[in-house]
Amino acid sequence: MTVDTTDPVEKPVEQSRRRRFVIPERFFTFQSYVALILVFLAAIIFSPRRNGEIVFLNSENLLNIVRAVSEIGILAIGMTFVILIAGIDLSVGAILGLAATGTASLLMVNDFGVAMTVLIILAIGMAFGATQGYLSARLGIQAFIVTLAGLQVARGLARIWSGGQGIALAYGDGPDVAPQAFSLLNSRTFNGTVPIPALIFAGVGVIALIVVRKTVFARHVYAIGGNERAARLSGIPVTRIKVTVFAISGLLAALAGIIHAGQLNQGSPNDGMGYELDAIAAVVIGGTSLMGGVGTVSGTLAGALLLGILNNILALNNIDSNVQLLIKGVIIVAAAGIQAFRSQQK
Amino acid sequence: MTAPPLLAMRGIVKHFGGVHALRGVDLTVGAGEVHALLGENGAGKSTLMNILSGVVRPDGGGIELAGEPVALGSPAEAQAAGVAMIHQELDLVPQATVTENLFLGREPRTRLRTLDRAAMRRHARELLDDIGVELAPSRRLSSLRVGEQQMVAIAKALSLDARILVMDEPTSALSDSEVERLFAIIPGLRRRGVGVVFISHRMDEIAVVADRGTVLRDGRNAGSFVVAETPPAEIIRMMVGQPIEQLFPDREPPAERVRLRVRDLTVADGSDLGGRSEPRGVDLDVREGEVLGLAGLLGAGRTELLDALFGLAGHRLSGTVELDGEPVRLSDPRDAIAAGIGYVPEDRRASGLVMMESVAANIVLAALPALARAGWRRAAREREAVASSIRDLHIKTASAESAVGTLSGGNQQKVVFARHLLRQPRLLLLDDPTRGVDIGAKSEIYRLLAGLATSGLAVVVASSELPELLGICDRIAVLRGGRIVTVLDGRDATQEAILAAASIEQNSNPSRMEAG
Amino acid sequence: MSRTIRALTALCGTAALFAVAACGTESDVPESAGGSAQPDEGTECAGADGEYLIGMSQANVAEPYRQQMDDDIEAAAAEVDQFEVVFADAAQDNAKQVADVENFLTQGIDLLIISPNEAAPLTAVVERAYNEGIPVIVLDRKIEGDSYTQFIGADNTEIGRAAGEYVATELLPDGGSVVELKGLPGSTPAQERADGFRAGIAANPNIEIIAEGVGDWLREKGQSQFEAILQAQQAIDVVYAHNDPMAEGAYLAAQAASRQSEMSFIGIDALPIPSGGIKAVEEGRLSATFVYPTGGKEAIATAEEILVQCAEVDKEQILETELITVENAAEIYARNATQ
């Protein structure tokens, strides 16, 4: 009892800081939103104008942006959970291709209904992800390796499924065509304004935000990423959570694949090539640490939108596509650099 | 005229943002002197040492080495000036061998500029022999216990021809015999004229090893003393500002009912044992309200026995474990938690806390499913649980949402306690619960333990600090090679008796003083 | 607390895009109604007094042939005062190409030129442009349906036939052995260049195709395939490759075996670039190559007819190939090169 009085208030832990200037922690928390707002403002400033109208702010253009990032955005949401447990999922682009191919094949070749097709494809994606999660969590193979292998397997399966060719979708009633209902994915709702894929993306985003805020599962994900041993010693079912996380990533990749097939009227085994890297970029820009345990779904959403706006404004200004790649690279490095700076400051 | 002291730090000032870490601190160390640096966590010891080793630049004051003013602008400059640090967290490469670590960055070369492995092995052997460490230089560092790794770090620092050696709690992870080995090299250092700054929370060690001492409190000098002339109670008074009347609280004797019954518990050897011992045929009874201590040298199997009781040995475990007469299966920590067992592990940074998460998130971690409804969190119940934990355990934190890394060691430890207490365990396993914790927080943890035991909890506590075991335990089980060699009554056990049982060779040990 | 704020901010970010879009939508309603009437307005041609923005959506400029197509368009458009051309590259990604065309529409282009990566995925967006009253010129690869103004492309079967006839009459009038190096299996051009060639050599029954290799359009693949064929075949008179890079690869393999003088090499494409087939003919490695025209120049000519001259154009324009030999190589190179 006598000891308590010596130290009434917790003193900040002594730290070794060599740097003079210190960026307030608050900035990091909002890093991706600050960046999103800056890019949004920059886009308005640099937007071409036509008849006094700012082309970038044109409603159709803004909705096009959300539509264009919907697939990457959905992949990135799944990727966020994977990266939060200090994993990585390189297979999502390939699973997207497999799902797109499978969707087209089931609809056109097997004459399955839309509901049946969607269920089967989502189940395949989930099972694929869960298998990768199991191999990584149980056998202790690094996620990078497991999903690198998964990438090859998914591409191979897609090629075998379709005979190596893309399968084009045609709509109508009767055999050898897809049900008209599936073409909804390539349409717009609310008087033909809001693209359906954008709505699905928004829906997945809201669900993910709720899951992160409200479920025990999400807390377990953060704990495993932050300190796996401590999580295990706290009775968290580490293997089950990891398998679930990869299953979610696979499921969302399959969902993105279904959307992909619907948007492009085709499923091809080469679809989604390199999408995993864009998804990882969105997550990193969103402030999620590749070391695990730190990050937010909301940041990822901001990161995905940021990439979309960036692509759009560069295209609207007819910036050479090679330069676009450079600018994207710089932004990713900047986002990661800010994170590195943050952990140095700690 | 006397020679100037080897090291003189005068009027050192340092602030971080608005926080004054040091407000004009003096420290002088003579050649061949072992100088104890004491103070509670947050008193400024680490900042002062970071300034000495060039990691942090002071905002005011000056440093002289043998009378020459020096500017230690970087760790490299400090090292060149002859300052060597042995940190609490070791600057070693876990994947490399002992030899490779010893020569990292200054590997001997042959005439062809290739790595001279023979010379490396030879020198490594010599360095280790110099300080009496029996380790194969070819062992991978990650296969060593924390204590053995520390010995490597010390060997490396000594090999750098340091004039000033800063040891930041060097013994916190060492077994008694290793502590003796470490202390055995100190006369040699004295002869070479090396000045040692020795940071420790352990009064007994300071009494054995140090000549003089300096106490810091709140970033100021709270006093300095000559060890031989100053009773420990006086030193503690300088640290905390007032005397501690009783470090170990009195406690009711335990009940008769047996809570934990272990019979013939054995763990099959795993792949990488690295000199540790798994439990072998352990029989153990712990009663309700009893605190049972586990003593033994480093590697005797204390941690491994606790790990096994918490389900960490998985399927390698055999034998029977009963709680309140019911047999329990322990193949995973989840089994143990479900059965009502809590575990505060040895290394709270590596195994206990999720450092980047908040105090609240860390407290509720194990109780989340219990506090939730069908997997959906109930924020109000979580807040209540956190608030009552912070209140009951006197966890000092700015807010429940502060990052747990901002707390002092003692309060971090209490967070881990709180996590398991929330599950209302029947049996609590503690592995070195006061390691790296200052004396004030130690006292609180002992008080907390006493309260828990009085309320009927059974506690098994492993510790490398014998005075601590003697002060808090009803009985002390001594381990050697994974077996329990004897169980002593806490009231009449002595350090000599424990050490005699723990060591194969019956060495006579200089008595180490009890604190407080 | 801060987590709530963060989640809200992110939601707002997404919502903001929707909201701003939704607000815009209302004010846009009359405008988009006007837009849907555009096919009628499209017939009002501003002619030579207008200024025209042309969008060129390329499938993948990483292929030299497609880079050449863009260069041809740029060069031809520079000659027309009223034209400004903007380019987009889909980097072989269908989804990116859809977004590229959408961005063009947002920018308010007056005419779309597109060389589609694949037919099915791009049909919908091209249809949308066409239905908004924007003339569409489709280059090289077709889209499905007929929602376009003109298709410009070369006939690969005809090129193959021309190559076959050249072999039958000029190189091997007395007959001989031919080795064929094919493009990527399953690709339409590879199939057509093979079929056309067989039709072309049919006139001379003494010509025999003694071996076929698959070079996937790639120089290194052509080289390794032909190395193997050289081992197996003692007498080879002509190597017919489905494109110039594979023909060059075969030449390298023959050179390594010191057999390059025993046989003639012919290819297809004849790009007017330093690493292209015309230079290879000029420098004597290839005996002949056949121009696979990019259609870039013709696309701008068609655009001029539509926009400046307000004329009707044909639905299809098939481009003729041209034989390149050492006699005309330098001249054609100078004519076709854009830089």
Question: pLDDT band for position C6 (50/70/90)?
Answer: low
- Edge to edge, what strands does the sheet with B195-199 contain? B83-86, B164-168, B195-199, B34-38, B212-217, B220-226
Last residue of a domain, one of B406, B423, B440: B423
Q: What is the pLDDT of residue B511?
A: 37
Cα separation, C186 vs B53, in Å, equals 69
Residue C32 has pLDDT above 50, yes or no: no
Residue A45 has pLDDT above 80, yes or no: yes
Show which of residues 72-111 on chain C sit within 8 Å of chain A, judged by CB atoms: 86-89, 91-95, 98-100, 102-103, 106-108
Is B346 a member of any domain? no
Please give the residue range of the domain that contains residue B419.
Answer: 354-423
Cα gap B298→B275, rounded to integer Å: 10
A135: distance to nearest CA of chain B, Å?
19
Question: What's the rounded Cα separation, in Å, for the pair B312 and B450?
Answer: 27
Angle in degrees, 0-180, between the axes of helices A31-46 and A321-345, rounded to the nearest 10:
150
Chains that touch A (3 or more CB pairs under 8 A): B, C
- Of B330 and A336, the structure prediction assigns the larger pLDDT to B330
| Structure confidence at residue A24 (pLDDT) | 59
Q: Which of C21, C94, C118 sits opposite A63 (nearest CB)?
A: C21
For the beta carbon of residue B509, count every other beta carbon within 10 angstroms. Answer: 16
Indicate whether A1 belongs to any domain.
no
Distance CA B295, CA B285 (A): 16
Q: Are residues B323 and B395 in the same domain?
A: no
Task: Tell how far CA B140 is from the center of its chain.
Answer: 22
For residue A92, is it within any domain? yes
pLDDT at res. B333: 94
pLDDT above 90: residue B175: no
CATH of the domain at B119: 3.40.50.300
Q: Residue B344 in contact with residue B430, Cβ under 8 Å? A: yes
- What confidence score (pLDDT) does residue A229 get? 93
What contacts B130, CB < 8 A, 6 or more positions away?
B155, B158, B185
Q: Select from C102, C107, C124 the Cβ nearest to the Cβ of A265.
A: C124
Please determine, for residue C37, whether its predicted confidence score (pLDDT) is greater than 80.
Answer: no
Query: Which of B185, B211, B240 is the endpoint of a domain?
Result: B240
Entry field: residues in chain B: 516
- Listed in sequence order, the residues at least 6 apart from C161 whose beta carbon sits closer than 8 Å to its beta carbon are C196, C197, C199, C200
Q: Do residues B370 and B278 share a domain?
A: no
Q: Contact A62/C17, CB-based, under 8 Å?
A: yes
User: Do C46-148+295-320 and C156-292 fold alike per CATH?
Assistant: yes
Per the model's pLDDT, the better-predicted residue between B261 and B41 turns out to be: B261
Residue B358 shares a structural domain with residue B484: no
Q: What are phi and psi of B500, to 5 degrees?
A: -60, -40
CA-CA distance, C89 to C74, in Å (whole number)?
14
Binned at pLDDT 50, 70 and 90, residue C187 comes out as confident
Q: What is the pLDDT of residues B51-84, one digit of tens each?
A: 998 888 899 899 998 888 988 888 888 888 888 8
Task: Give the pLDDT of residue B277.
Answer: 82
- Predicted pLDDT of residue B126: 86
- Token pair in block for residue A115: 């509901």
Give yes or no for a contact between B94 and B142, defined as CB atoms under 8 angstroms apart: yes
Q: Assess whether B274 and B363 both reside in one domain.
A: no
- Indicate yes or no: CB of B361 within 8 angstroms of CB of A223: yes
Same domain, B150 and B289: no
Q: Are residues B266 and B210 in the same domain?
A: no
Query: Percent of chain C beyond pLDDT 90?
Result: 70
Structure tokens at B477: 């089980």
Distance CA C179, CA C169 (A): 17
Which of A87-91, A178-182, B132-136, C7-11: highest mean pLDDT? A87-91
Half-sphere exposure of B76 (CA within 13 A, CB side): 1
Q: Give the pLDDT confidence of B282-310 residue by residue, as tens digits.
A: 999 999 999 999 998 777 889 999 999 99
Residue B345 counted as domain residue: no
Check pLDDT > 50 for residue B513. no
Do the domain assignments include residue A2?
Answer: no
DSSP labels for B412-424? Answer: HHHHHHHHHHTT-
The residue range of the domain holding A232 is 66-345
Å between C260 CA and nearest CA of chain A: 36
CATH code at A97? 1.10.3470
Give dist(CA C230, CA C177) in Å, integer.
13
Residue-averaged pLDDT of chain A: 87
Beta-carbon-side half-sphere exposure of residue C312 (alpha carbons within 13 Å):
2
Q: How far is A240 from chain C (nearest CA, A)?
A: 26
Residues A178/A108, Cβ–Cβ less than 8 Å: yes
Contacts of A9 in chain B (CB under 8 A): 396, 398
> Coil, strand, or helix at residue C9?
helix
Q: Once rounded to an integer, what is the mean pLDDT over residues C204-209?
A: 94
Higher pLDDT, A188 or B489: B489
- Checking if the pLDDT of B162 tops 80, the result is no
The Cα-based distances of A77 to A99, A138, A288, A302, B224 in angstroms read 17, 24, 11, 11, 59
Give the one of C25, C89, C102 whose C-beta lies nearest to A321's C-beta: C89
Q: How confident is the model at residue C13 (pLDDT cuts 50, 70, 90)?
A: low
Mean pLDDT of C122-126: 93
With a pLDDT cut of 90, the percent of chain B lying above it is: 38
Residue A20 falls inside a structural domain: no
Q: What is the mean pLDDT of residues B442-471?
A: 90
Kindly state whether residues B397 and B273 are assigned to the same domain. Answer: no
Task: Find chain A residues with C-beta within 8 A of B240's C-beta.
Answer: 2-3, 6
CATH fold of C46-148+295-320, please?
A: Rossmann fold (3.40.50)
Break chain C into its structural domains and give their ranges: 46-148+295-320, 156-292
Tokens 């070479």 map to which residue? B192
Question: What does the mean pLDDT of chain C come to?
Answer: 86
The rounded distance, in Å, linking the Cα atoms of B267 and B273 is 12
User: Which range, B107-116, B118-127, B238-247, is most confident?
Assistant: B118-127
Instruction: Report if residue B250 sits inside a domain.
Output: no
pLDDT in tens, A285-309: 998 988 899 899 999 999 999 999 9
Q: Tell me the per-residue pLDDT of B227-257, one tens digit each, with 9 for 90 and over.
A: 889 888 788 778 777 555 577 888 878 888 9
Does residue B192 form part of some domain?
yes
Average pLDDT, chain B: 85
Tell me: pLDDT of B218 over 50: yes
Q: Phi first, then psi: give them for residue B20, nearest 5 degrees.
A: -85, 110
* pLDDT of amino acid C184: 83
What pLDDT is stored for residue B107 in this prediction?
Answer: 80
CB pairs under 8 A between A and B: 137
Q: Between these two residues, C202 and A30, which has the higher pLDDT value?
A: C202
Question: Using H for helix, E for strand and C for coil, what is the string for B135-184?
Answer: CCCCCEHHHCCHHHHHHHHHHHHHHCCCCEEEEECCCCCCCHHHHHHHHH
Nearest-angstrom CA–CA distance, C237 and C208: 10
Query: What confidence category does residue C1 fall into, taking pLDDT thresholds of 50, 70 and 90?
Result: very low
Pick from B74, B356, B429 the residue to mutate for testing the A interface (most A CBs within 10 Å): B356
Report, as an integer, the average pLDDT of B428-437: 88
pLDDT at C208: 94
For chain A, how are helix, strand and coil distributed in percent, rounded to 5?
Answer: 70, 5, 25
| pLDDT at position A303 | 93
Structure tokens at B129: 């022999």
Domain C156-292 CATH class label: alpha beta
Domain presence at residue A166: yes
Q: Tell me the pLDDT band of B17, cut-offs 50, 70 and 90.
A: low
CB B463 within 8 A of CB B434: yes
CB A31 within 8 A of CB A295: no
Query: Which residues lie across from B451 on neighbouring strands?
Result: none
Provide the pLDDT for residue B271: 62
Strands (E), B355-505: 427-431, 458-462, 475-480, 483-489
Do strands B475-480 and B317-323 pair parallel, antiparallel, or not at all (unpaired)?
unpaired
Q: Are A231 and B354 a contacting pair at CB < 8 A?
A: yes
C328 to chain A, closest Cα gap in Å = 35
Per-residue model confidence (pLDDT) at position B234? 83
Q: Give the residue-averaged pLDDT of B490-508.
A: 73
Q: Do A13 and B19 touch (CB under 8 A)?
A: no
Tell me whether residue A43 is in a domain: no
In this complex, the residue of A3, A214, A216 whose CB is nearest that of residue B240 is A3
In total, how many domains does chain A have?
Answer: 1
Indicate the range of B490-494, C28-32, C45-49, C235-239 predicted with least confidence. C28-32
- Alpha-helix residue ranges (DSSP H) falling in chain A: 25-29, 31-46, 59-84, 92-108, 114-138, 143-162, 196-214, 216-226, 228-233, 238-264, 275-285, 297-316, 321-345
